[in-house]
Structure 1
Amino acid sequence: MKLEVKCDVENCKYWAHGDQCVADSIYIIGLHGEKAANVGETACKTFEHRE
């Protein structure tokens, strides 16, 4: 099953036209422990700066 992942971080090496994430896998963490109360308490650990 193909999953569409949207991302607007254009300086990530996995960002593609149309705000598509083209990474093979995505790793998201909670910033304040294991549970997040909202999206602002999460971060994408898959991010790599585009050269």
Structure 2
Amino acid sequence: MAQDVLCEVSSCVFNKQGERCGASQIYVVNNRAKNAENSEETDCKTFEPKDL
């Protein structure tokens, strides 16, 4: 299992210093097909917006 999850989405509440994801779990889903063939066909459902 991954020890460090990197994320460049600075508008996410879980984005910590150094682009590390601070969420306790990561939930990724398909966004186009039943079986994704590349990263563009997936979405991170863990995202929560920061209060900007």
Give TM-score, length-normalised by structure 2. Answer: 0.88
Counterpart-to-counterpart distance in 2, 1:32 and 1:2: 25
**Structure 1 runs of 4+ off > 4 angstroms?**
none
| Counterpart residue number, 1:29 | 29
- Equivalent residue of 1:18, what SS? coil
**Unmatched segments (≥5 aa) in structure 2:** none
Relative distance call for 1:13 and 1:38 in structure 2 (3 A) is same
Counterpart-to-counterpart distance in 1, 2:36 and 2:2: 26
Count of equivalent residues: 51
| Counterpart residue number, 1:6 | 6
- Equivalent residue of 1:29, what SS? strand
Give TM-score, length-normalised by structure 1. Answer: 0.90
Identity %: 37
**Unmatched segments (≥5 aa) in structure 1:** none
